[in-house]
Amino acid sequence: MKKVFSIFLVMALMAFSSGSHEEGIFPLSELSKLDLKKAGLKIEPSEIYNEEGNSLVNALVRLGGCTGSFISEKGLIITNHHCVYGTVASLSTPENNYLENGFYADSYDKELKTSLPCKITLSFEDVSAKMLEGIDELTALEKKAKIRDNRKSILEEEQKLHPNLVIEVSEMLVGKVYTLFRYKELKDVRIVYVPPKNIGKFGGETDNWEWPRHNGDFSIVRAYENGAPYQPERHLEVSTNGTREGDFTFILGYPGRTYRNQPAEFLEYQNNYILPIIADWFDYRINAIEEFAGDDVAKKLKYSGTLASLNNVSKNFKGKMQGLRRTDVIEKTYEGQDLLKEFAEQNPVFSEYVPLFDKSEKLHKRKFELITDNLYLSQLYRTSNVFSAAFNIVEARRALQTQSKKEFLAAVEAEPEADKKKYNGLFGLKDAVSLDLELFTELIYRIAQTKLPELKQVLGPELVGRSKAEVEVYMNKLYKKSRLVDTERSKALYDRNPYRFVKAKDPIVDLLNRVQPVYLMYQMELQQINAEIDEIIPKFNDLEMARNSGEFIPDANSTLRFTYGYVKGYEPEDAKVYSPFTTISGIVEKAVGSANPDYFLQDEIIEKLKKIEPADVLKNPKNGSVVVCFLYNMDTTGGNSGSPIMDAYGRLVGVNFDRSYTATINDYAWNESYSRSIGVDIRYVLYIMKYFGEADEVLDEMGVKL
């Protein structure tokens, strides 16, 4: 069996290929296996990626959780408006509301500094052998630990060789293939141009994950190195030609996780538990925050990034559920898994793999039993400041078990000011106590509906099975008794006597002390289950590759990838036929007379949209109107936000920002009939910058003449 495994390890390294021309989020090393010239590429594939020299990939950056691309030799980067949304909100005040009004710096000294991380992929290499060294004969958990230790050793060794680079090891195939990536990190990124919110986020949550779209979801930032604008090895040429239906296009970017090579039960786990539970909880949080913020501009700015993120995830998850309901993805995945089992049964060399199918089913069944309460418990730690504070106090008490009072105080004194705050986590809570109480109470109520006996025991009869009103009474009393809720009193006590602060009794700390051991016990069981599932997945992948003669598409994992396809409309429902382009006329149609705040535009903007006579190059030759957004059938997912959309000649023609509602299930499966991604057309980007932002200096730097 070791021989068989080694054969399939080689296959895994060699056999990344696509079953269809458009499907696939390909590692760069696989470009040579694609017939891109036949697909429509007009340049050499080596112009896209060249291991030996400069190519288009050198213009790509990973900007936080998004993608960006250099568009000038002086470090200008184009990305999505929603990728810098939270950053711009944090830089805004009621007096200088850059989020609402937009921002433009016509000189270097006016650009706004941010904390956005920016990474450039320099090189990569396979380290599978090193990562998997010494895992034979180990248990599932021991294998995970050994792989983790091997990763640590590889990173330490590589970091010594390249102290100025960021080093990461990414799992390309679970338990099989691992790649080491070397990144250059630029820590100085500044805002240059951001359109007003009602342009950059026109349509808001109403249009999010929908088509047709009419928002200018783009922003421009600049990267600096040693105080000077960064000079990239390559920057993209901006095309004003745009695209037409049927045109070949491709995307480079950093797509996040996809889950197309998981067991069939994983889709059931997502559809019945993760997606509905998190979507429902995030909706509750959204409503609570919006009610709390009301019309207070400062509060709206404070929570704008959080709300945007919560809304995005919630609608994405609902789209996934709809997609899974309306398609046969789950059914087909189970059918495929049954065929794999039959294949293993019919081939003696794989006889040892046959019992794994029943084992996978049993492991997932137990995972289903644990996951609901674990999801809510994990949200409790992430959502409630008070509960997080209690956790930090418990951790501090644990440290005191091996420290004297004098040692503890010396350690606190030596900590930076930012680290000191971790002991109560409430110094910024202030007037948000009511919001914290509401969210904490709702989570405790949901957790108290548990069927797990250990959790029932620690929560006790005062919470388990009680009505929402009864739980609210209990939690109100808890908050009134807790010193952690009083920010000023809590901070004063910590400043005066951190030892007493940590040691003092508190009812919320007592609640955490009861809940946490059970939560950790469930977490450990889930870790064991996940380790055993991860041990099975590579063997299922072996069978898949053997059955399909080596054809296998790896999951995306936030590393640099390539995908290609065509500008193309689609028919998401019976009798609904969508063309691939929207124009400015659609913006006016949505805005005029609408009571929906997501479509609000000031009268002067509407008049400007109607009256501006744009440069001819920005007009769609088919109807004479400026194209706003367009559709294409490329294989994208989260993390591709901000990815450059390039034409057959490698020129920038748009910026990817979303998928259609039906394509939210791209994380699990791609399908020609419903997988459509959405980008803002570069012609609309230039139109907004020229006629609304008057950003002529930036347009000149981009080499654009209008």
**pLDDT of 610 higher than 70:** yes
Tokens of 602: 């000031």
**pLDDT of 231 higher than 90:** yes
Angle CA(650)–CA(617)–CA(581) in degrees, nearest 5? Answer: 70
CB atoms under 10 Å from CB of 586, counted, come to 16
Report yes or no: 506 and 393 within 8 Å, Cβ to Cβ: yes
Cα(275)–Cα(127) distance, rounded to whole angstroms?
34
**pLDDT of 388 higher than 70:** yes
Q: How confident is the model at residue 33 (pLDDT cuts 50, 70, 90)?
A: confident
**pLDDT of 614 higher than 70:** yes
The full set of domain ranges for the chain reads: 1-117+187-258+552-706, 264-534
- Give which of 411, 704, 350 is closest to 542, Cα–Cα: 350
Window from 56-65, 196-205, 549-558, 591-600 with minimum mean pLDDT:
549-558
Order of strands across the sheet that contains 627-632: 26-27, 561-566, 248-253, 644-646, 652-659, 677-681, 627-632, 581-583
Window from 10-19, 193-202, 437-446 with minimum mean pLDDT:
10-19
Cα(531)–Cα(540) distance, rounded to whole angstroms?
15
- Domain spanning 1-117+187-258+552-706, CATH class: mainly beta
Q: How confident is the model at residue 409 (pLDDT cuts 50, 70, 90)?
A: confident
Q: How many whole angstroms from its chain centre is CA 388?
A: 23
**pLDDT of 505 higher than 70:** yes
**pLDDT recorded at residue 1:** 32
Which helix (H) or strand (E) segment holds residue 186: the answer is strand 177-186
DSSP assignment letter at 251:
E
**pLDDT recorded at residue 342:** 95
Nearest 10 degrees: CA dihedral of 130, 133, 138, 140? Answer: 20
Give me the helices (H) in 415-506, please: 417-420, 433-447, 453-459, 468-481, 487-496, 498-503
Tokens of 628: 């706003």
Question: What average pLDDT does range 498-520 have in this prediction?
Answer: 92
What pTM value is reported for the model?
Answer: 0.85
CB atoms under 10 Å from CB of 544, counted, come to 19
**pLDDT recorded at residue 222:** 98
Residue count (the chain) = 706
- 211-222 burial, b at 16+ Cβ within 10 Å, e below that, comes to bbbbbbbbbbbb
Sign of CA dihedral 150, 152, 155, 161: negative
- Give which of 537, 587, 645, 516 is closest to 212, Cα–Cα: 587
Q: How far is CA 295 from CA 94, 200, 432, in A?
A: 12, 21, 15
pLDDT in tens, 629-669: 999 999 999 999 999 999 999 999 999 999 998 888 889 98
Cα(621)–Cα(473) distance, rounded to whole angstroms?
66
Question: What average pLDDT does range 478-482 have in this prediction?
Answer: 91
Q: State whether residue 134 is helix, strand or coil.
A: coil
pLDDT in tens, 566-587: 999 998 877 789 999 999 999 9
In the chain, % of residues over pLDDT 70: 94
Cα(661)–Cα(379) distance, rounded to whole angstroms?
26
